[in-house]
Amino acid sequence: MNDIAVIGAGMHPWGKWGRSFISYGTAAARAAIADAGLDWSDVGSVVGANTMRCGYPGYVAGATFAQALGWQGARVTSVYAACASGAQAIGTARAQILSGLADVVLVVGADATPKGFLAPAGGERPDDPDWLRFRVLGATNPAYFALYARRRMALYGDTPDDFAQVKVKNAAAGALNPLARYRARVSAEQVASSAVVADPLRLLDICATSDGGAALVLSSMEFARGHGHPDPVRVRAVSTVSPTYPKAVLDLPDIATDSAVAVAPAPHSFRASIARAAYEEAGIGPEDLSLAEVYDLSTALELEWYEDIGLCAAGEGAKLLRDGATALGGRLPVNTSGGLASFGEAVPAQAIAQVCELTWQLRGTAGDRQVPGARVGITANQGLFGHGSAVVAVR
């Protein structure tokens, strides 16, 4: 097994704090280093997940965080993969550890987001599909989420109440998480009475944009065992796969599909292939999971992820939810952290935050939201332009 150890996890609480992303990331990094029982000087490499909204410091996040923590000679790397940036950073750290380039790597991501939905950077870029979907179609992120929701309604008979119940579930978990931005329980009636943003999705069906940071200290298994971590949480797989031609279903940010006349579509969708690659690498299957953290940009999208990570067959996500299987106390809890419904988006930190939650759950230190006996967890999300993102952690 090519396992690496998670010996430290830390986060800055998420919200709208009005400060630099650097302050959130360094706070998370210090918390993770302290959690690992190490000094900053013990870190041999820093991998920063970039934020493109925060100027040049955001574009070179690895060096930015290393400088903020105090130059000490560590190797630095900066990665960007939109919402999958955190998983790419974890994958980069793992490669450095397994290749022997570093024994201890700090992975950190943080963001300070604007109010409202995320839009492409300014400028005229007619060859950029993300820019085109806004300029040509007016397809903001909520509009895209709504199209997926409508597709589920048409194909599977999902209802707005099914979507609302995802928010109810995640808000209940978020109410138990001191790091979450939104810590109030929500009823289905409150979701149904919130403002329509993009029919059928309402304001409480869609995640906010937030400020926040998350960090992990990763190491070789030998280092962990020699420095006070005899049985650490381990990262067993990192999937960062890309789509397979032809893509027959629209996928953000593209506004067209490939022709499947000459070449048959792949047997699995892009999102399903992300999880399958992680399972294959880890040598496990969905039946081995104790919990999952998935990317609930919208309530409807969480139901899609249930199917994509193999918890149920296509079209059965809403039934799984209604049966209580994915709630705290259910057969396989999903988004025990509260998910993006409770945190909001802080893009470079999101996939790292998901692994922080798995770490605390697998350690048995998640408090009131603890999944009893948790041993195996998976994260799943995706970034623009075909960036897959899934991490399997085990104990």
| pLDDT surpasses 80 at 255 | no
The confidence band for 134, taking pLDDT boundaries of 50, 70 and 90, is: confident
Indicate the pTM of the whole model. 0.96
Same domain for 62 and 153: no
Same domain, 33 and 173: no
> Contact, 212 vs 110, CB < 8 A?
yes
The count of structural domains within the chain is 2
Residue 103's SS3 state is coil
Structure token pair of residue 351: 């996939």
Residues 149 and 16 in one domain: no
Six-digit token string for 61: 């996040």
pLDDT band, residue 136 (cuts 50/70/90): confident
Distance from the first to the final alpha carbon of the chain: 13
Query: Is 247's pLDDT higher than 90?
Result: no
Same domain, 65 and 148: no
pLDDT in tens, 15-43: 999 999 999 999 999 999 999 999 999 99
Q: Which of 184, 206, 208, 171 is nearest to 327 (CA)?
A: 171
Is the domain of 308 the same as that of 215? Answer: no
Return left, alpha or beta for 82; rule: phi > 0 is left, psi -120 to 50 is alpha, else beta: left
Residues 294 and 321 in one domain: yes
| Backbone torsions φ then ψ of 117, nearest 5 degrees | -70, 155
Same domain, 167 and 46: no
Mean pLDDT taken over the chain:
95
Which pLDDT score is estimated for 235? 98
Asked if residues 23 and 13 have their Cβ atoms less than 8 Å apart, the reply is: no
Q: What digits encode the pLDDT tens for the residues 311-332?
A: 999 999 999 999 999 999 999 9
CA dihedral 317, 323, 325, 330 (to 10 degrees): 160
**pLDDT surpasses 80 at 122:** no
pLDDT bracket for residue 67 (50, 70, 90): very high
pLDDT at position 329 is 96
Per-residue pLDDT at 344 exceeds 90: yes
Judge contact between 86 and 55, C-beta under 8 A.
no
pLDDT 10s digits, 185-233: 999 999 999 999 999 999 999 999 999 999 999 999 999 999 999 999 9
Structure tokens at 368: 């009131």
197 and 157 inside one domain: yes
Question: How distant, in Å, are the alpha carbons of 95, 156, 209, 250 from that of 151?
Answer: 39, 8, 25, 11
Shared domain check, 169 and 33:
no
- Here the CATH number for the domain that contains residue 43 is 3.40.47.10
**Banded model confidence at residue 249, pLDDT cuts 50, 70, 90:** confident
- Residue 314: inside a domain: yes
Which residue segment(s) compose the domain that 58 sits in?
4-116+211-234
Give domain status of residue 110, yes or no: yes
For residue 121, pLDDT beyond 80: no
pLDDT at 124: 86
199-232: burial string, b at 16+ Cβ within 10 Å, e else: ebbbebbbbbbbbbbbbbbbbbbebbeebebeeb
pLDDT score for 120: 81
* Shared domain check, 135 and 73: no
Q: Output the pLDDT for position 254.
A: 80
**Burial class of residue 40 (count of CB atoms within 10 Å of its CB; 0-12, 13-18, 19+):** middle
Instruction: Based on the fold, state whether residues 171 and 279 are members of the same structural domain.
Output: yes
Looking at the fold, whether 175 and 244 belong to one and the same domain comes out as yes
